[in-house]
Amino acid sequence: MLNVMTVDVEDYFHASAFADSVSPADWTTLQSRVVRNTDRLLEIFDHAGVRATFFVLGWVAEQFPDLISRIAQAGHELASHSYDHGLVYHKTPEVFRADLRRAAAAIESAAGVKVEGFRAPTFSITERSLWALDTLISEGYTFDSSIYPIRHDRYGIPAWPRHVHRVGCASGSLWELPGSTIRHLGINVPMGGGGYFRLLPYQWTRYAIRRLNKKEQRPAVFYIHPWEIDPEQPRIRTGVVSTFRHYSNLDQTEQRLLRLLKDFRFCTVSDLLAETGKARKPATFYPQAERNSENWSAPPPNTEEQRAGPMADSLLPLPRHAPSKCPSDM
């Protein structure tokens, strides 16, 4: 089964762990390592014969347009990771729209391709920022990968559909590719990459993807950052928890990635969606309509998902009526 390989193209100092330690005004004064690290990922993917989707920070595209051009020339897909790595739930809809446009302009100028996909920094489309989906649709985006259906101190919508599906809003609909999870003891357990890939043993990731592929017959959506294969990156002082999350096992990530690419097959977001559309006509999940319905409840674990079969789109039923608008900022 094909899984999705994605890269969030940002420098080490862009990580949300350092938002209180490093000001955007200081970014150009810091040693940048995003080019060397991303080039190394390009080498790894080329050797493995893998094409990935690169969610690029607009700031990086402005500073290093040649890097973005190389990614496209290597046959990978380009998408947006916002311009300034600001959390969506800290933005107003107007600021978010302006950020989307600035990021897309930088990426498209660097590579000459249209940007149609988005991933929010730190999966920051949550219950209080679901309005962002409507903005994405109105701006012409066709897919998003910003929602993680887990409980976390900074992000997550635990009751959100776990697998690839379509989301409908007033402006239309788009594909949503949630962060990957498996069900364990009645909860969604993350296994989609990033810190979960570094902090937990490789055997966990391998087990979880195999279970997702074989038992649930679903693809995994994996993500990695270029700085995660760079144990020599400069250290930035921050809190104990953030330090642990950011710096743990950086010296092991590249070797783990090489193993992952041998153990599983990967493709771009668009390649997966093309296969999904062939396999089944997608149903559409309307968040507000479901939440306004008297019968709405959290998705039932291990019932509809398991019965739906491969490449099913949404584990929730269609609402009787389309919503007049997407949920407003809560």
Confidence of residue 275 (pLDDT cuts 50, 70, 90): confident
Q: In the predicted model, is pLDDT for residue 325 greater than 50? A: no
User: Over the range 12-25, which residues count as b (16 or more CB within 10 Å of their CB) and which as e?
Assistant: bbbbbbbbeebeee
Confidence of residue 311 (pLDDT cuts 50, 70, 90): very low
Of 170 and 84, the structure prediction assigns the larger pLDDT to 84
Residue 8 included in any domain: yes
Residue 325 included in any domain: no
Residue 330 included in any domain: no
Domain total in the chain: 1
Residue 157 belongs to domain spanning: 2-308
Say how far apart CA 55 and CA 49 lie, in whole Å: 19
Q: What is the pLDDT of residue 268?
A: 98
Say how far apart CA 56 and CA 276 lie, in whole Å: 24
Residue 213 included in any domain: yes
Q: What is the pLDDT of residue 281?
A: 61
What are the pLDDT digits (tens) for 20-75?
899 999 999 999 999 999 999 999 999 999 999 999 999 999 999 999 999 999 99
Q: What is the pLDDT of residue 33?
A: 98
Residue 327 included in any domain: no
131-138 vs 93-111: helix axis angle to the nearest 10?
A: 40
Residue 326 included in any domain: no
CATH number at residue 69: 3.20.20.370
Q: What is the pLDDT of residue 238?
A: 92
Q: In the predicted model, is pLDDT for residue 83 greater than 50? A: yes
Confidence of residue 153 (pLDDT cuts 50, 70, 90): confident
Q: What is the pLDDT of residue 71?
A: 98
Residue 321 included in any domain: no
Say how far apart CA 264 and CA 101 lie, in whole Å: 35
What are the pLDDT digits (tens) for 156-169?
899 899 999 999 98
Q: In the predicted model, is pLDDT for residue 304 greater than 80? A: no
What are the pLDDT digits (tens) for 236-264?
999 999 999 999 999 999 999 999 999 99
pTM for the full predicted model: 0.87
What's the whole-number mean pLDDT along residues 221-244? 96
Q: What is the pLDDT of residue 323?
A: 36
What's the whole-number mean pLDDT along residues 127-152? 94
The answer to whether 58 and 103 have CB atoms below 8 angstroms apart is yes
Give percent of the chain above pLDDT 70. 85
What's the whole-number mean pLDDT along residues 80-109? 97
Greatest mean pLDDT among 147-156, 175-184, 269-278? 175-184
DSSP letter for 82, please.
Answer: -
Say how far apart CA 276 and CA 221 lie, in whole Å: 14
Q: What is the pLDDT of residue 63?
A: 98
Q: Tokens 């649709």, residue?
A: 137
Of 281 and 324, the structure prediction assigns the larger pLDDT to 281
User: Over the range 171-182, which residues count as b (16 or more CB within 10 Å of their CB) and which as e?
Assistant: bebbbbbbbbbb
Residue 231 included in any domain: yes
